[in-house]
Amino acid sequence: MQIAIVGIVFGSFLLFVKMILEHKKQNVVLPTVQEGSSMKYSELEERILTTVHEAMEPLIARIDELESAQLLASSENLLLGDSSEKSSNQSRAKSIDS
């Protein structure tokens, strides 16, 4: 039983040391591989915002078209509704006068 516990602790310690060494190895290798191709956070943020705005432009234009069409339709309905009410009120007034 004691041998199993010692084995587990020792194995965990070795695994931990191996992970640290691999991490350090990757940190040493990565900067040399990507040297010169890095970009600042602000540049990345600017590129992302530009891309998002470019992707949203057609959607915003379509929303504006739909809102204009809906506004035009609702104003036509209001105008037609008002004129039909006026004509019906005028015809009622004429029939009452007669």
pLDDT (tens digit, 9 = 90+) per residue, 69-95?
A: 999 988 888 888 766 666 666 666 565
Pair 22, 52 in one domain:
no
Pair 29, 51 in one domain:
no
7-34 tens-digit pLDDT: 898 899 999 999 999 988 887 766 555 5
Task: State the pTM of this model.
Answer: 0.41
Pair 48, 81 in one domain:
yes
State which residues form the domain around 88.
Answer: 39-98
Give whole-number Cα distances, 63 to 9, 27, 56, 72, 74, in Å.
63, 48, 10, 14, 16
Instruction: Summarize the confidence of residues 47-64 as an average pLDDT.
Output: 94
Pair 30, 71 in one domain:
no
HSE of 15, CA atoms in CB hemisphere, 13 A: 6
> How many domains is the chain built from?
2
Pair 24, 52 in one domain:
no
Residue 6 token pair: 């010692």
Which pLDDT does position 92 carry in this prediction?
63
Pair 52, 28 in one domain:
no
Which pLDDT does position 26 carry in this prediction?
81
Pair 31, 52 in one domain:
no
